[in-house]
Structure 1
Amino acid sequence: MSSAESQVPAHQQSSWSSFVKGLASWSGDLSSLTAPSFILSPTSLTEFPAYWCEHPDEFAAISSGKTPEERAKLVLRWFILTLKCQYATRNEKMGSEKKPLNPILGETFYGSWPDTNGRGKTDLTVEQVSHHPPITAFYINNEKAGVSLEGHSGQKTSFSAPSIIVKQVGHSVLSVKLEDGSVEDYLITLPRLKIDGILYGKPYIELTELSYIVGSNGTCVTIDYKGKGWLSGKAHSYKASLTKDSTSIANLEGQWTGTTKDTKGDLNIDAQIPKEEVTVKPLEEQQIPESRLVWKDVADGIRSGNYDKAGKAKSAIENDQRAKRKDEAAENKKHELKHFNHVDSDEIYAKLIKEVSSTLPTSEDAYKIKREN
Structure 2
Amino acid sequence: MSNNNNDTIDIEPTEEQLATEQHYYSHLQFKADESTLKEKGISRGSILMDVVKQLRTGADLFRISLPSALLAPISMLEYISYFIRPQSYILSAHKAFDPEQRFVSVLKWWLSNTSHTPRGGIMQAKPYNPVIGEVFACKWIHKDPSSGEISKTEFITEQVSHHPPMASGVLLNRKSNLLLNAMIKPKSKFHGNSASIVLDGNITMRFLNQPESEIYDIVFPWVVAKGLIWGTQCIEINEDLKITCAGTGYSAKIQFKADNEIKGSIKKDGNRIYKVRGNITGEVRIRSVKTKKESVFFDAKDLEHAPWFVKKVANQKSNESRRVWHKVTKALADGEFEEANVQKNLIEEKQRGLRKKREESGQAWKQDLFKLKEGTEDEYLFKYDLNSEEYKSKSLGDFIDFLKEDEEEIVFAKKL
Q: Give the structure-1-normalised TM-score.
A: 0.82
How far apart are 1:282 and its partner, in Å?
1.7
Corresponding position of 2:319 = 289
Corresponding position of 1:145 = 176
How far apart are 1:44 and its partner, in Å?
0.3
Secondary structure of 1:268's match?
strand
Q: What does the per-residue CA deviation read over 1:44-75, in whole Å, with 9 as the maximum and x for residues that have no partner?
A: 01112322443342332221322011001100
Corresponding position of 1:357 = none
Q: CA RMSD in A?
A: 2.6
Q: 1:337 to 1:38 in 2, by over 3 A?
A: same
Corresponding position of 1:99 = 126
Secondary structure of 2:207's match?
strand
Which among 178, 181, 187 is matched to residue 156 of structure 1? 187
Secondary structure of 1:124's match?
strand
Q: What does the per-residue CA deviation read over 1:94-152, in whole Å, with 9 as the maximum and x for residues that have no partner?
A: 27511101100000111112243325221111101111111111100011111111112
Which among 3, 17, 27 is matched to residue 49 of structure 2? 17
How far apart are 1:21 and its partner, in Å?
3.1
How far apart are 1:288 and its partner, in Å?
0.8
CA contact (8 A) 2:372 2:378 kept: yes
More deviation in 264-273 or 333-342? 264-273
The sequence identity of aligned pairs, in percent, is 27
CA–CA distance in 1 between the matches of 2:374 and 2:256? 30
Q: How does 1:242-281 map to 2 (within 5 A)?
A: 242-264=266-288, 265-266=294-295, 268-272=297-301, 273-281=303-311
Q: Give the structure-2-normalised TM-score.
A: 0.74
CA contact (8 A) 2:167 2:184 kept: yes
User: Are 1:129 and 2:160 counterparts?
Assistant: yes
Q: 1:274 to 1:313 in 2, by over 3 A?
A: same
CA contact (8 A) 2:219 2:241 kept: yes
CA–CA distance in 2 between the matches of 1:301 and 1:344? 43
Corresponding position of 1:79 = 110
How far apart are 1:263 and its partner, in Å?
3.2
Q: What does the per-residue CA deviation read over 1:251-278, in whole Å, with 9 as the maximum and x for residues that have no partner?
A: 1112223321123343521223222353
Q: How does 1:1-373 map to 2 (within 5 A)?
A: 11-12=42-43, 13-23=45-55, 25=56, 28-85=59-116, 88-89=117-118, 91-92=119-120, 94=121, 97-117=124-144, 118=149, 120-178=151-209, 182=212, 184-200=214-230, 203-215=233-245, 216-227=247-258, 235-264=259-288, 265-266=294-295, 268-272=297-301, 273-343=303-373, 365-372=378-385
How far apart are 1:185 and its partner, in Å?
0.9
Secondary structure of 2:346's match?
helix
Secondary structure of 1:112's match?
strand
- Opposite residue 30 of structure 1, the aligned amino acid is L
CA–CA distance in 2 between the matches of 1:327 and 1:207? 41
Q: What does the per-residue CA deviation read over 1:161-197, in whole Å, with 9 as the maximum and x for residues that have no partner?
A: 3332444320200111236x65521000122343311
Q: 1:316 to 1:63 in 2, by over 3 A?
A: same
CA–CA distance in 2 between the matches of 1:257 and 1:211? 16
Q: What does the per-residue CA deviation read over 1:248-307, in whole Å, with 9 as the maximum and x for residues that have no partner?
A: 332111222332112334352122322235311222211110111111100001111111
What is the number of residues matched between the two proteins?
A: 338
Q: Which runs of 5+ in 1 are unaligned?
A: 1-5, 228-234, 347-363
- Opposite residue 22 of structure 1, the aligned amino acid is Q
Q: 1:189 to 1:200 in 2, by over 3 A?
A: same
CA contact (8 A) 1:344 1:365 kept: no
CA contact (8 A) 1:171 1:190 kept: no
Secondary structure of 1:16's match?
helix
